[in-house]
Structure 1
């Protein structure tokens, strides 16, 4: 579901989701890192970052700086995207397709997360690489 507002203020997202309030929406919100969403997460909504936005930060590192960290991260994202379009699951019923994709993507996502945690310890705070990882 999408909503379009005439400005980027967080009050628009909160109003759309009925927050705050006892009948406000609860669930997982996939969004970019716009600061306006932060109050939603403080009100009980679970944050799920957008994979395309995360990938873009590493793409910029690779294109603009030739960063090997950016390149390796792009390889991980490529593996995740490949799982989503594998032909071997195309003919399966949706439940089986979802289960297989979850199993395969979980392995890649876990490896990516572990690798990023290790890389983050090696780069200075405030650097472009740190911002991409964070």
Structure 2
């Protein structure tokens, strides 16, 4: 079982996935800083100095942090945009795959029937 696990974990796809997860975690810290330290203050200036992180309301004991949700949406949009640009860039770098050559056209139905008829006439 240990050898099977070694074979599984050393496959290229698993290692690529692990690297992607590690880079993604590091990238999340960058995006969090970007949103919290740059985007939110900029949006706050535009809308009159409102700090999103303080937005919220309470109903009884429950507190609804709308500002945190807005921050999460902004972070998601930034990450989605960067991933879109990254995939677009990588697709430009990758060589284009040529369409497979079309299979040679076989005889038409009429030609097949003519061949069958010729064979039957021979017998």
Taking structure 1 as the reference length, what is the TM-score of the superposition? 0.32
Taking structure 2 as the reference length, what is the TM-score of the superposition? 0.34
Greater RCO structure (CA 8 Å; 6+ sep): 1
